[in-house]
Amino acid sequence: MEKKKLRSKKGAERATRILIYAVLIVISIIWLIPFLLLIIQSFNGNAGGGYGNSIFPEVWTFDNYVKLFTETDFPKWYGNTLLVSVVVTVFQTAIVLVTSYALSRLRFKMRKPLMNLMLILGMFPGFLSMTAVYFVLKEIHLTANPLGLILVYSASSAMQYYICKGFFDTIPKSLDEAARIDGASRQQILWKVILPLAKPIIIYTVLTAFIAPWGEYMFASLIMRGDTSMYTVAAGMKEIFLSQGNEYKYFTVFCAAAVVVSIPITVLFIWLQRYYVEGITGGSVKG
Amino acid sequence: MVDLEYLKMSPLQKFWFNFKAFFKGLPSKFSAFFKAIPKKLYKLWLAFAGIFLNIGRAARDGDWKTRTSFAVMGFGLVARKRYLRGILYFLFEVLFVLYMVFFGGKYIAQMGTLGEVAEVAVKDPLTGITVYEYHDNSLLILLYSLLTIFIMIAFVYMWYQNVKSSLISQQFVEARMHLPTDKEEIHSYADENYHKTLLSVPLLGLTVFTILPIFFMIFIAFTNFDGNHYPPANLFGWVGGENFANLFGGGVAGNSSKFAFTFGQVLLWTIVWAFFATFLNYILGMLVAIIINKKGIRFKKLWRTILVITIAVPQFVSLLFMSQIFSDQGLINNLLVKWGVIEDAGRIPFLSTDGTLARTMIILINVWIGIPYSMLICTGILMNIPEDLYESARIDGAGPFKAYMKITLPYMLHVTTPYLITQFIGNLNNFNVIFLLSGNVPISSDMYNAGQTDLLITWLYKLTMTYNEYGLASVIGILTFVIVAVFSLVLYNRSKSVKNEEDFM
């Protein structure tokens, strides 16, 4: 009798496990299908683009990719985005690191008020400032220019200090004290003590800073609207490929562009996944 | 309330208890807030008095070198061999005077009216044709006057610092104490004053590209800047609280009550959306994490990677693609027609005319986008829950559901409350999802330039980018800020009380 009970328990466990596998497979399908569909549609040879009415296209072709790189401004957008994201990554990483170090390690009168100020500033809907920012840039002749976009993206990076400061807070203070006894200045502590220990958070900051411009649409479309060839990929794909009335014509080209944009980001992301997960879990849930 | 009694309560009771406690605590919090005001004011007064006291002291005790610093900044410092600082103060003064004379002054003078003449007729001496040239630009006047005010505040601060350090230098010399040399001063910026070195650039960027624009926006809310008053061809001017009155239905504009109605509708949907987008994603993500983490399930890494891929693809790509395949002429509708599920005439308006359906679809698509994130976050924490907790629960005869309710959920909620709060607040202002998905949702006729799916922030976007209603939009922006701030305060407050009352670790 004991044995029978054990077996039925085992049977129940097996049933749950099968159920779980089924659920997981369904989930995987739901999550992957849109992306497969996207890839398939990018090879759709329906004359004149169009949404089509079958999952698998009647004609398979590379034309969408050819068209993307020869007939549209896409290569320029791609270059702009790459330029912007590389430069922004450098500035943003530097700004976030030094701000976090100052707020985490240095003690000065305005420290608390400054942190509160940045918290409050973060609550204003970001693009409300867009109009003013646009006119500021226009006055210094940086609209329709990647430099303007770089300036806007980098300028407010200080507000993203939160996660990085959280990481610095976990580095033991005794290290600083030991260095100070040895006569190190606060600058030397940053360079020789803190930064060498901060590799995971540096990678996290670099990763998020690099990816952000590829998906930012609002500022990019506003600041570059004088010259559509200066768009970033996000702005271009939304404003040109999917502009009202063009969606039908450009849909398959849009899919091709989406694939080209996604591949490097995805590779980078999967490669550095560990740091990303550490960053978001470490920074946002510590309580 | 004894801690033990609290721990005995069911989750629902606990929630009710916290809920009651929050509102019970409100009056005392309010009174504490107001009681603190006189104290704060007194402190502020002390700070101000200190400033004037220092200035007075410098005027009274200062020798001629210090007193000259009142007019010629940095003089007292240079006279005491602190050349670097002194010269920098002097340069700052010169630049400030030049700026005010040639640039800032004329804008400040026009701030009261925001310009009087938009265009002037100019006769071209060669051709004799009269052309119109733009003259005053209200927008630039407002922008530059704000900038000038910022610079003036900076100047007053620098002037005060200059007086103060002149006096201190004098006192140091009189007391025969060691004054820092230029070299020592420079070194201090890598050590005691290192925060000034580090934070100067980030704060400058923040001031010009965040703080200045926010002030600009707040001032715009009190003007009639809209499509009919659009610089440079037209001027706009101050209208006082008219835009606010319009919003609450008391204004003179014909659309005022409609505007108030729209604000209510949009606000309601914004809160509903933020609630679902946060908690649905969180709970479903946690469930997925739990079943992947379950003992005996193989290929854990594979399942996780599949979900992580969807994070890696830029969000705007997935959102735009979804909005395309679910559109009226989109792939999904085409397939359904082809398979005979629906008639060609009866295409399903997933993301267009049917407001309720569009809202549901947006929440569902957002679940699809959001689950992998919450799955990732939950996975790490789930693995931290001590296994023996479950072991002892099993021995006490608790089933998996009970173990979940009594161990997993409280633990997760305890650890992830800050995450949930930031998520909720982020969702109140979630522009991307709504904007990229609901491009096809038409403006609804009973609302003021808003569609059924618009959040406050996308409505704001439409008002500015499509309809040029800057004045009204700024009012909404200010209110959005107030709402977000209130939510943050209330939520953080609650989370603090939770933390104190059921400390887990």
Across the interface, which of A155, A254, A269 has its CB nearest the CB of B312?
A: A269
**3 state DSSP class of B176:** coil
- Provide the pLDDT confidence category of residue B97 given band limits of 50, 70 and 90: very high
ipTM of the complex: 0.87
Give yes or no for B4 touching A (CB within 8 A).
Answer: no
Token look-up 């896409």 returns: A74
Query: Chain A residues with CB inside 8 Å of B429's CB?
Result: 125-126
Residue B87 has pLDDT above 90, yes or no: yes
Instruction: Give the mutation candidate from A123, A137, A205, A244 for the B interface (greatest B CB count, under 10 A).
Output: A123
Residue B165 has pLDDT above 50, yes or no: yes
CATH 3.40.50.300 fits A73-284, yes or no: no
Tens digits of residue pLDDT in B324-360: 888 888 888 888 888 888 887 888 888 888 888 999 9
**3 state DSSP class of A47:** coil
Residue A259 has pLDDT above 80, yes or no: yes
Give yes or no for B374 touching A (CB within 8 A).
Answer: no
Instruction: Read off the pLDDT of each residue in A134-152 and give the average, rounded to a whole number.
Output: 88
| CA distance readout (Å), B164 to B55, B122, B172 | 7, 52, 12
Q: What is the rounded distance in angstroms from the CA atom of residue B300 to the CA atom of residue B21?
A: 42
pLDDT number for residue A75:
93
pLDDT number for residue B351:
85
Ranking A77-86, B270-279, B405-414 by mean pLDDT, the lowest is B405-414
pLDDT number for residue A147:
92
pLDDT number for residue A209:
92
- Provide the pLDDT confidence category of residue B367 given band limits of 50, 70 and 90: very high
**3 state DSSP class of A50:** coil
Amino acid in position B205: G
Tens digits of residue pLDDT in B452-498: 889 988 888 888 888 888 888 888 888 888 888 777 777 766 555 44
* Nearest Cα residue in chain B from A104: B195
DSSP lists the bridge partners of residue B130 as B123
Residue B408 has pLDDT above 90, yes or no: no
Across the interface, which of B187, B313, B321 has its CB nearest the CB of A266?
A: B313
Tens digits of residue pLDDT in A10-43: 787 788 888 889 999 999 999 988 889 899 888 8
Q: What is the rounded distance in angstroms from the CA atom of residue A153 to the CA atom of residue A148?
A: 9
pLDDT number for residue A85:
95
User: B313–A139: do the CB atoms touch at under 8 Å?
Assistant: no
Phi-psi region of A48 (alpha: psi -120 to 50; beta: other; left: phi over 0): left
Give yes or no for B497 touching A (CB within 8 A).
Answer: no
Give yes or no for A13 touching B (CB within 8 A).
Answer: yes
Instruction: Read off the pLDDT of each residue in A66-75 and give the average, rounded to a whole number.
Output: 90
Q: What is the rounded distance in angstroms from the CA atom of residue A78 to the CA atom of residue A256?
A: 13
For chain A, the domains span: 2-64, 73-284
Residue A144 has pLDDT above 80, yes or no: yes
pLDDT number for residue B504:
39
Instruction: Read off the pLDDT of each residue in A123-135 and give the average, rounded to a whole number.
Output: 78
> Looking at residue B375, what DSSP letter applies?
H
293-352 in chain B: CB under 8 A from chain A: 294, 296-297, 303, 305-318, 320-322, 324-325, 327, 329-331, 334-335, 337-338
pTM score over 0.90: no
Higher pLDDT: A128 or B208? It is B208
Query: Chain A residues with CB inside 8 Å of B431's CB?
Result: 125, 127, 218
**A155 burial class (0-12, 13-18, 19+ CB within 10 angstroms)?**
buried
Instruction: Give the mutation candidate from A32, A88, A131 for the B interface (greatest B CB count, under 10 A).
Output: A131
User: B216–A129: do the CB atoms touch at under 8 Å?
Assistant: yes
Please, what is the end-to-end C-alpha distance for chain A in angstroms?
50
Q: What is the rounded distance in angstroms from the CA atom of residue B18 to the CA atom of residue B496?
A: 11
Residue A49 has pLDDT above 80, yes or no: no
- Provide the pLDDT confidence category of residue A250 given band limits of 50, 70 and 90: confident
DSSP result, A151-191: HHHHHTGGGGHHHHHHHHHHS-HHHHHHHHHTT--HHHHII
Instruction: Give the mutation candidate from B208, B282, B317, B489 for the A interface (greatest A CB count, under 10 A).
Output: B317
Ranking A23-32, A84-93, B79-88, B239-248 by mean pLDDT, the lowest is B239-248
pLDDT number for residue B498:
42
> Looking at residue B238, what DSSP letter applies?
B
